[in-house]
Structure 1
Amino acid sequence: MHDINKLPLSKATSNPGTVYITWQKNLFNLPASFIYFLLSILLFFINLLCIPREKYAEIQNRSQEKETLRRLEDIGDFIKEGETVLDVGCGNGRFGENIARKFNACVTGIDVVDYADAGIPIKFYDGYTIPFDDNSFDVIIMAFMLHHVKHQDVIFKEALRCSKSKIIIYEDTYFSPWQHLFIMWNDFHSNMIVGLVKIVKGLEGKGILGMPLPFTFRSVKGWYRYFQENNLEIISTQVSHSNFKPMSKVTFLLQKGTRTE
């Protein structure tokens, strides 16, 4: 059975019991959460003390390239050539740079933390008010950033204001209490612990340690309810599961104001 389900909203709404994860996979994630928690602590010391800087950079780059390809594949042809795109919470800006290259799009990034390292224009803002006029961009992207803000509703409505029509959201998600706990740990590990290793090895600026971690994750069903409240049509929902690590990711392709009651 495949670990990746790509289902349009029509299937999800016609069948509210849509299964995005098998019970076997969900059960497997329970012991895997404990194992990966222990492994991540061990790997911190191995990566910090035993892995040379160049080798560690190679491992990180290879992992990031794989993740970028997955994200681009999820978008498909949702972004059209020449469209304007705002990457909210762009981080170092490299994903936005890949968007610009692949779709020949005009991409701008904004973030509250300064560790920019890419060839797109990036502005820094207060995390509440997006510094652009209404309907300024064809597409708004929020890639794994909404779980970094307590005031999700404020920044989400700002994204809606600035988008002419389309929104893309990538998020970590969960299907059980133990997976929920693990993705919170993974968020701390990925930003603080891995970030510290990158800083020590001179691969990242200290800004990453200022990343807010309120752990405001939602389940897929939780996101569905939220999108409905905000009058959004879900063009597609794409859920992927890691083979062994108890991680699940979801990509939503959304469109403004076209949902009918």
Structure 2
Amino acid sequence: MKALIGKLHGDLIFDRRTRVLAESLTGLLPRDATVLDVGCGDGTIAGLCRTIRPDIHVEGIDVFVRPSTVIPVSAFDGKTLPFPDQSWDVVTFIDVLHHTEDPGQLLREAARVARRYVILKDHLSENSLDRLSLSLMDWIGNAPHGVALTYNYQSSQQWKNLFARANLKPDAETSDIPLYVFPLNLFFGRKLHVVTRLRPDHPGS
């Protein structure tokens, strides 16, 4: 059953989602940026970003490094980014933080490591219907691949609190992200997805 669900997800959703997310993210990246993609998987989306924007340099980091990756990927412990302060222009999280037990920890690490921006694609869960939709979406897309499912979704106010505690200031945001075709967008689209660009508030800057 999981194999069948995984095939249907790939055929109906994956390619469009990858393209739309890459297009949304690349418009927020500064020229000639160095980009660290945290929780990158095999690097498909980051690799497409690099294709769209060949001026950027992209590397990934993940708790599990897959045998074949589109971009260079190194391993980390899932909590601490093994890089010096302000060593990357941009740090990205693409549908990663809702899989973690403590998203604030990684946001604080990203704020430390990023010189210019932290860019986040994640979800908004404002009510029980949102949570049901997101949980089903997560299970369909990730269970066949053995991805940890913590269902740790945040409301808009919870995101604001996490950003403030990490000394990150929202710079740009959109929930107009057409990931799904009709009629899937009626249930899995709505305003459940958000891309936010944040500026780290470095001491003395």
Tell me, yes or no, whether TM beats 0.5.
yes
Q: Does 1:256 align with 2:200?
A: yes
The equivalences for 1:31-42 within 5 A come to: none
Distance 1:127 1:169, change over 3 A: same
The structure 2 residue matched to 1:97, chosen from 39, 43, 47, is 47
Q: Cα 1:69–1:134, aligned 2, differ >3 Å: closer, same or farther?
A: same
SS at match of 1:119: coil
| Residues 138/250 of structure 1: CA separation in 2 closer, same or farther (3 Å cut) | same
The answer as to 2:30 corresponding to 1:80 is yes
After superposition, residues 1-261 of structure 1 pair within 5 angstroms as 44=1, 47=4, 56=7, 60=10, 63-75=13-25, 77-104=27-54, 105-115=56-66, 117-192=68-143, 195=144, 208-209=145-146, 211-240=147-176, 243-247=185-189, 248-257=192-201
Cα distance, 1:165 vs structure 2: 1.8
- The answer to whether the 8 A contact 2:19-2:48 is kept is no
TM-score w.r.t. the length of structure 1 is: 0.66
Higher helix share: 1
Which of 1 and 2 has greater Rg? 1
| CA distance, structure 2, for counterparts of residue 89 and residue 228 of structure 1 | 22
Whether the 8 Å contact between 2:139 and 2:149 is mirrored in structure 1 is yes
With over 3 angstroms needed to count, the CA separation of the structure-2 counterparts of 1:111 and 1:138, relative to structure 1, is same
Q: Contact 1:116–1:122 (CA<8 Å) still a contact in 2?
A: no
Structure 2 unaligned residues grouped into runs of 5+: none
Identify unmatched segments of 5+ residues in structure 1. 1-43, 196-207
Give the share of equivalent positions with the same residue, in percent.
Answer: 24
Matched AA of 2:4: N
For 2:95 and 2:126, locate their aligned partners in 1 and report how far apart those are by CA, in whole Å: 17
Q: How many angstroms does 1:45 deviate by?
A: 7.5
User: SS state of the match for residue 168, structure 1?
Assistant: strand
Per-residue deviation, residues 137-160 of structure 1 (Å, max 9, x unmatched): 100000000011102222221111
TM-score of the superposed pair, with normalisation by structure 2: 0.82
